Structure 1
Amino acid sequence: MKEKKIIALLGNPNAGKSSLFNQLTGLRQKIGNFPGVTVDKKVGFCRLDAKTDIEILDLPGTYSIYPNSLDEQVVLEVLANPQNPEYPDLAVVVADASNLKRNMLLFEQVSDLGIPTILALNMLDVAEEMGLSINSGKLSKILGVPVVELNAREGIGIEGLKYTILNQLDLKKTHINPTIFDNTSETIASEVRKKYNISNRYLALQYAAQSHKMTFLGDAAQKDLQAIIEKYDFNPDSFQSSETISRYHDISDTLTQVVHETGIKKETISEKLDKILLHRIWGYAIFLGILFLIFQSVFSFAEYPMDLIDQSVASLNDWLKSVLPESALVSLLTDGLIAGIGGVIIFIPQIAFLFAFISILEESGYMARVVVLMDKLIRRFGMSGKSVVPLISSMACAVPAIMSARTIGSWKDRLITIMVTPLMSCSARLPIYTILIALVVPDSKVLGIFNMQGIALMGLYLLGFFSALIAGWLMKLILKSKERSYFIMELPTYKMPRWKQVGFMILEKVKTFVFEAGKVIVAISIVLWVLASYGPGNEMDEAEKQVTRTNPTATKEELASKIASVKLEHSYAGHFGKFIEPVIEPLGYDWKIGIALITSFAAREVFVGTVSTIYSIGADPEDETTIKQRLRNEINAQTGKPTFSVATSFSLLIFYVFAMMCMSTIATVYRETKGWKWPVIQLAYMSVLAYVAAFMVYQFLK
């Protein structure tokens, strides 16, 4: 017996289902996977009254119970299997009131499955703006189920919905529409009901029509159902078509009675804006302008808080070294732990600004237009229109972006999208980009207003985007994918961002960066300190004696600096760096950078924490100790020139544009493709691409 009643939220994409979920559950949410399926489920908890708590299950958006993708199939698997642990006690179908006819198809199908249902009319303000009025009371009488009016975005009508849910859980009233049954389907439904002890006729018919998509049935049951289909010469595709046509006739008759035009429809503000923002020329120009503004701001606005954090960490380190006695423990604290933490928190301002802009674009409704614009562009490169969402969302993180490729029905198109998505620059690359750009790109203005560093940052993001398009086009040719898929998306109206939601997203992303990436960075920083502070045998002691003997006239400070550098070179980390140095030397990297490259396979952002720790350990104690100054002052022992020269820094930037360097992404690709073949191919092609591109850049610039 289930501990709590389960309420499933269902609806078409962009009907406002997620907004309603957030309103009902607040912060009482958790993300997981459906049992046996790599599709995310959002679960939250809601208190209806003092005695009643319910579990809210936010199912993937779908237009009907006939799935076209992996995430839509989850809806069918849950609703068609009363034994499923996620099977709902009640369904709330969220409908976009401005396009009620299309939304009603899913409602009728869910209701006919025998699940007690509530119809929630959302976006009534948009319907009113379009000159439409809906008589929800009359609609409720016709359908025989409660109809609730909502504005999920603003939280209007939430208490009324809670009250209705509470009542319906007691009544368990369902609405069954029998119009789709003819003699053949009636006979098939009857036979399936007897064989599998199913009480609902429509559910029994779905067993016959979609048995191949119901994995919970098992092979034996699917073969038996296939035999029934062949016995009655039943065509599932024809049944689906005739059912949809029949339902839309019924829906049209119903809506004729309850939907009325209130007057002449006026052109909405959203429609006027779309004529400009979706224009085939101006649309792209405006989007590039917005991107340009974002990257300019990331450098301009974040510079002062970043410098303040950098100086504060350096001052704290200096103070601790001055008040604490010199020891291995103090070195671990300052050069290991605090240096590692400094490599994390210095980038909080830039992460915050980036996600603030992304959140505002999403909240305002503009991000949906970006997806439509990109759809037009990527089709020219032979990719699926549905690849747009993963590619755009990977600017935040490749892991959820790759998982969102489940909406692509064609396996080859889905695979291509998974394989090229990591080429898009994610937020994990931002710390590397900004620290290296700050070292070699002058902080000067172009035309008096445009920051050169912001232009460089935008260039790196665009390089990743166009590389993903070209890679997708090449993979399309290699895999010989000839299917043409279509991308259909309901555009939301433009709205003022909800600043509370913007703030919540910034807080969540910063917390994720600090605690998820931060844990890895700090752990690796401590391990690196150990590897860089100790070496095999007595090599480090011998190296110290050798430096002391060969530099009898050196001052105390000069001697300390040389000893620190030589001891680092003879440490475990130094030996490892020297081992891989011949491979990376053609790219302009020394053995210290090599250590950072290897550790950043755990997560790209580890690179900055690693170089911060490595150069902190080998630094002159009297030098300035901010991260930027440490890297700027570092001299290559062989060439006598700055380690992070223009050629080396740009080589590193290009390397990280193309390199995979993320264990979480590799693990996600393994899970999504169900094997190691494609993750290994992806790691190999991106590593080769990164190496060759970085080699060419270094050789050209040096």
Structure 2
Amino acid sequence: MRVINIALVGNPNSGKSSLFNALTGLQQKVGNFPGVTVDKKTGTSTIGEHLTANIIDLPGTYSLYPKRADEWVTYEVLMNPDPSTRPELVVLIADASNLKRNLLFCSQIIDLKIPLVIGLSMMDIARKKGIEIDIPGLERDLGVPVIPINPRKEKGLDKLRKAIEQTARHQYRAPSRDFIANAELASAPIAELKHQFPSISDYTAIHYLINYAHIDLEPSLRTAVESVRTQTPFNTTKVQAEEIMQRYARIKQVMANSVVETDPLQKALFTEHLDKILLHKRWGYVILLAVLFLLFQSIFWIAQYPMDAIQWGFAQLTGWLGNLLPVSWWSDLLLNGILAGLSGIMVFVPQIMILFGLITLLEDTGYMARISFLTDKLMRKVGMNGKSVMPLISGFACAVPAIMSTRNIENRKERLLTILVTPLMSCSARLPVYTILIALVIPRHYLLGFLSLQGLVMMGLYLLGVVFALTVSFVFKRLIKIRERSFFILELPVYRAPRWKNMFMTMWEKARIFLKDAGQVIMVISLILWALSSLGPGSGMARIKDHYAALEKTDTAHVDDYEKSKKSDLLAASYAGRLGKAIEPVIRPLGFDWKIGIALITSFAAREVFVGTMATLYSVGEDNSENQLTLQEKMDQARKENGQKVYTLGTGLSLMIFYVLAMQCMSTLAVVKRETRSWKWPLFQFVYMTGLAYFMSFIAFQIFG
């Protein structure tokens, strides 16, 4: 079985991701390109009986003249491929409804002389616009196979696979004739460079001469390019401008030969009619708020039943095993360490799946891009632009890839501001914390009979993060002294029916990632916490056990009371208890006790660890009957030394606000350091977010406590 590497390229919104998902299915993985933090998606696909492909989904770009960091990734892979990502063949996705724009990038790939197959997507949209394309004529003009496809409906994929297989077997070859006369753009330097390296194409030579300082060339080639640049005249701006003009002139000829278009004013698409409503200067914002409102109401309404079932199941299993197993250290570890940690992981899977499923739905229909358009005016007032909205929205899922995605923001100041405020958006790791605290302190009431009060509070927490992100950006734009021209260009995709298969695939994948990545962290910390909560320094815990054993012998009428006091004292004397007591004076003004203090420390590894920490702390030392209580019931019964409830409305709101605003994520700090190439900004981010969280939590507790 032969295995080849295929690079999947195309303009943004051309259908590239849809094709990648259709070809690879669930055989995908996400990693980073070597040396950069831009995500690369790779997957495997069976192309033919004896041919399998490793498909690399490269970031979308409009041409081979990159402006953004993610476009540079695509450029470097195509111009000077790393051995791990070297493509033997390129599949370019071209939007048939915007063919003229897509053919610029296509013509550049052709002139690189890399074997190429073109997948022509959006044919249905082209027909609705009145565009008719002569596919055989287009193939003749371009000199490469052109296959009409519809990845969303998996149409044309068999023909595409066949064309890929034939190209891999050299039945189709790269055109011998250039799309334009590249050699004439700079004849002397190109001829000199090709004299030393005859295997490269004329167009590749042009790009080496333009961008040699930015490409990791082998030493001999770099030396040759530098020598040619110093010895022969080469005007980069003139060559690039002349090339683009010639390409569009030739593309105009291709369009005239192979494409028939009606007057665009005669054909108004459904998308245009819908945009008049959804992008209205007033109603557009009302609809946006309604969409977000329904999103958060659905998270509680739909997820409530499977979450209750999971909690009940773990409570019953723990109670049953507690009655069945003997009293020993290993049964205590199993019940109060492993099972308590597992319950803290599994119970939030339904909400995470629903959140990501609904976000995928918004992206798939094309509405997510409209959110960027609607919010550009607001973003500019606080120092960012409409392109900042997508990282901020992505921050609702996870701040790490969201911060990576800021690389498509050209303006350095706007990019830095977006990086600094993105962690204020409530990521999915905060969702388990919000859920357990809202269930504890907010009653399950319905306003007007159908509006969940808990859902409204959840939406309020997300909006609070948005408000603070905008406010902080507004302040910082005056403090950060970077002056650079800003512009905002956005292509709005057409509205499409959602792909339910894609949505469910995303839900499954996100649940798997949560269980694998976050689950491993939660389980490890849960086991460490069990040990820290069960063991203590010196002979302190032994003396406590002896003390209560003596009391139980002399006063048998109050054995149950002594047992509860003993558990409390043993936990306080443990390593975990001593750590919590040490930081309690600092967090007491916020309404937090020492157990919450331990959770604040452990959840710095991952915010969702808060729930696993609480599950362990409230399980250690309990008897079998108490193990049948859910974590929420245990936290609700928690009392301070003076008998007051630990989780009052004031404490709950204070803790929720702290998690909205605090930088409780090591991974985010690490990626900020990588993106800014300095420890200055992540340290600044940690200090300002922690200080802001402490101050606002203090105010909340003083008002509601």
- Tell me how far apart the structure 2 counterparts of residues 555 and 216 of structure 1 sit (CA, whole Å): 81
* 1:102 partner letter: R
Summarize the Cα distance change of 1:29–1:621 in structure 2 as closer, same or farther, 3 Å threshold.
Answer: closer
Shift of 1:85: 4.5
- Does the Cα contact within 8 Å between 2:529 and 2:613 map onto a contact in 1? yes
- Tell me how far apart the structure 2 counterparts of residues 217 and 456 of structure 1 sit (CA, whole Å): 58
Q: Deviations over 1:114-164 (max 9, x none)?
A: 112222211100000111111111111122221111112211111101111
- Does the Cα contact within 8 Å between 1:10 and 1:92 map onto a contact in 2? yes
Partner of 2:674: 671
* 2:584 partner letter: E
Summarize the Cα distance change of 1:100–1:217 in structure 2 as closer, same or farther, 3 Å threshold.
Answer: same
Partner of 1:314: 315
- Does the Cα contact within 8 Å between 1:658 and 1:689 map onto a contact in 2? yes
- Does the Cα contact within 8 Å between 1:592 and 1:614 map onto a contact in 2? yes
Partner of 1:61: 60
Which region of structure 1 is more displaced relative to structure 2, 548-557 or 628-637? 548-557
- Tell me how far apart the structure 1 counterparts of residues 457 and 54 of structure 2 sit (CA, whole Å): 48
Which region of structure 1 is more displaced relative to structure 2, 586-595 or 325-334? 325-334
Is 1:636 matched up with 2:663? Answer: no
Q: Deviations over 1:513-546 (max 9, x none)?
A: 2222111112111111111111112211212344
Shift of 1:424: 0.5
Shift of 1:65: 0.5
- Tell me how far apart the structure 1 counterparts of residues 185 and 436 of structure 2 sit (CA, whole Å): 70
Summarize the Cα distance change of 1:242–1:432 in structure 2 as closer, same or farther, 3 Å threshold.
Answer: same
Shift of 1:47: 2.1
Percent identity of the aligned residues?
A: 47
Partner of 1:203: 204
Secondary structure of 2:151's aligned partner:
coil
Which region of structure 1 is more displaced relative to structure 2, 495-504 or 676-685? 676-685
In the alignment, structure 2 segments of 5+ residues that lack a partner are none
Partner of 1:560: 563
* 1:656 partner letter: Y
Partner of 1:487: 488
Summarize the Cα distance change of 1:84–1:185 in structure 2 as closer, same or farther, 3 Å threshold.
Answer: farther
Is 1:91 matched up with 2:90? Answer: yes
Which region of structure 1 is more displaced relative to structure 2, 517-526 or 367-376? 367-376
Which region of structure 1 is more displaced relative to structure 2, 536-545 or 169-178? 169-178
Partner of 1:280: 281
* 2:430 partner letter: R
* 1:479 partner letter: I
- Tell me how far apart the structure 2 counterparts of residues 33 and 273 of structure 1 sit (CA, whole Å): 38
Is 1:594 matched up with 2:597? Answer: yes
Secondary structure of 2:36's aligned partner:
coil
Secondary structure of 1:45's aligned partner:
strand
- Does the Cα contact within 8 Å between 1:343 and 1:608 map onto a contact in 2? yes
Q: Deviations over 1:336-393 (max 9, x none)?
A: 1111111111112211221221122122222222232233321221114322221111
Q: Deviations over 1:405-441 (max 9, x none)?
A: 1222334333322221111001110010111111111
* Aligned pairs for 1:52-131 within 5 A: 52-81=51-80, 84-131=83-130
Q: Deviations over 1:212-259 (max 9, x none)?
A: 3213356x9668645644654433123222221221111112101211
Alignment counterpart, residue 686 of structure 1, candidates 689, 694, 699: 689
Shift of 1:646: 0.9
- Does the Cα contact within 8 Å between 2:638 and 2:646 map onto a contact in 1? yes
- Tell me how far apart the structure 1 counterparts of residues 214 and 467 of structure 2 sit (CA, whole Å): 36
Secondary structure of 2:245's aligned partner:
helix
* 1:258 partner letter: S
- Tell me how far apart the structure 2 counterparts of residues 594 and 644 of structure 1 sit (CA, whole Å): 14
Q: Deviations over 1:259-296 (max 9, x none)?
A: 11368843222111111111121111111111111211
Secondary structure of 1:696's aligned partner:
helix
In the alignment, structure 1 segments of 5+ residues that lack a partner are none
Is 1:627 matched up with 2:669? Answer: no
Partner of 2:155: 156
Q: Deviations over 1:584-627 (max 9, x none)?
A: 11111111111111110110000011111111225576556111
Alignment counterpart, residue 577 of structure 1, candidates 575, 580, 583: 580
TM-score norm. by structure 2 comes to 0.94
Secondary structure of 1:171's aligned partner:
coil
Summarize the Cα distance change of 1:627–1:83 in structure 2 as closer, same or farther, 3 Å threshold.
Answer: closer
Partner of 2:520: 519
* 1:156 partner letter: K
Partner of 1:257: 257
* 1:146 partner letter: P
- Does the Cα contact within 8 Å between 2:142 and 2:179 map onto a contact in 1? no
Question: CA-atom RMSD, angstroms?
Answer: 2.2
- Does the Cα contact within 8 Å between 1:229 and 1:235 map onto a contact in 2? no
TM-score norm. by structure 1 comes to 0.95
Q: What is the number of residues matched between the two proteins? A: 699
Partner of 2:239: 239
Shift of 1:82: 6.1
Shift of 1:198: 4.6
Partner of 2:657: 654
Summarize the Cα distance change of 1:593–1:618 in structure 2 as closer, same or farther, 3 Å threshold.
Answer: farther
* 1:241 partner letter: A
- Tell me how far apart the structure 2 counterparts of residues 224 and 144 of structure 1 sit (CA, whole Å): 32
Secondary structure of 2:152's aligned partner:
coil
Summarize the Cα distance change of 1:149–1:338 in structure 2 as closer, same or farther, 3 Å threshold.
Answer: same
Shift of 1:95: 0.4
* 2:662 partner letter: A
Which region of structure 1 is more displaced relative to structure 2, 506-515 or 478-487? 478-487
Summarize the Cα distance change of 1:65–1:150 in structure 2 as closer, same or farther, 3 Å threshold.
Answer: same
Alignment counterpart, residue 605 of structure 1, candidates 604, 608, 629: 608
- Tell me how far apart the structure 1 counterparts of residues 414 and 199 of structure 2 sit (CA, whole Å): 37
Partner of 1:143: 142
- Tell me how far apart the structure 2 counterparts of residues 276 and 303 of structure 1 sit (CA, whole Å): 33
